[in-house]
Structure 1
């Protein structure tokens, strides 16, 4: 599990380094499975055995990629209660008011579109390791030999294994990976397996080329359509990394401070001192999905919440004759 977290960390930190580390670790795992775990049964289950070893680990890697992605849980947590609240607000809003607490159809549409974009990004990132696994497996060729030689003995073709001449040469293909095939010379057996392996390796290299081309194409499209300059993207990435690190540290410190206060108050049987903790609304705001819009000058959900809350407090406490200190920072 820690190794997989390391893979995801490298994937997020840099494109070239992340792709290289992910490919190396996944290929190493596939090599271990091919040599130490996989053993072709050389019977009617060849096809299913090879297919399971080729696809099931890839599916497991994809699911782990989705589960280990923090954006998945940020997207899903509290989703059903929020949808119920949105329906309630929609029914309760008869005049289309846009004040705080009322449902806005425009906002709802934005949330749906943002959700789709985030789901696509999560799925795209999670598919990286499965494709590498399949490509590495095809380059090795061990799974492919077992899969192809068992194709005619699968449940789909179990009644069609005899060729037109009435011989059982096609039926004996499942024995090729293990050797000692009746009626077939060793050279012919090796030549057939070499052909299967060559075709498998060609497919593997095509998949690798497709992955790299698609990755470059997606990056180029996003960069070409971006309204943000290169240096501002670097600044936002640095800011979000620092904010995330500081936020994790403060969460631990604040939780420790609150726990120590409660424990001390319990054992000393004294009145606990006041500790300010963010409200449920505040936690919900900073945990929500965030789309970076350059015109708003907000680099994260936390940044947006802090500045908007401070501005609302300033408007409440003042008459509005003075200029807002928050707006001064934006100019």
Structure 2
């Protein structure tokens, strides 16, 4: 006799109600979930996972985009670590860029978020105006504008001329070119600022009131209340900005093209040149996987050290 998966009960009004067995419900629920997830799953497998696996394969081949890949094993990686001077040059510049730009960007975002967290008339207008550069900051047009502002005849030198100071070509000077890129990235702090602002809204005003009664100054409140309560948000922003800074490409490509004298030759720019200028797709794929590993190492270090400075309220202490 076959097992019965459904049963029918009749109510007082003689309306049949179908009760499905646990087995039927167990198979229907995941199907509905996967149906809703299918657009994301298709995009993940076709646009993310498959290209990553293909890139990993290409990193062990000699591939020029014009001919079939030729398997060379670890030759690309060996050449990168033993012979490629530009690999170490671009990596050093990129790490320096990340170490300087990320803290400055987060500090600027936090200070501005604290200012915008005040109760002032027209604050919504100020928030919109300050956030606006982050919406257009990564565009090619803004990069070109930034190049003109810091050029020899740019707005910065025009302003300095009012005080009798003769400016230089900030973009064309190897000592200042990287600083102009860092300044541009720091100027785009809007996304981090919004996240900090949301975190500040979650801090209870009672904590500040109680500390004020105990005689705590604004500076002490900042270090003893604001920073500990915002530490999970700081961790989140730190990870996002670190990953994004390692992949910085548009600004360096449009403004300096890696110059002058390779002073802004970012790792992503070097990868692009190898892949689409030199048609060394296999070599570029190896560079991409090395960059992925470097980003993973930096991210892991951040998470491992977070136990010493990130405070979680739900755990009653540090994470």
Q: TM-score by structure 2 length? A: 0.29
Which structure is richer in relative contact order (CA contacts within 8 A, separation 6 or more)? 2
* Higher share of residues assigned helix: 1
* Higher share of residues assigned strand: 2
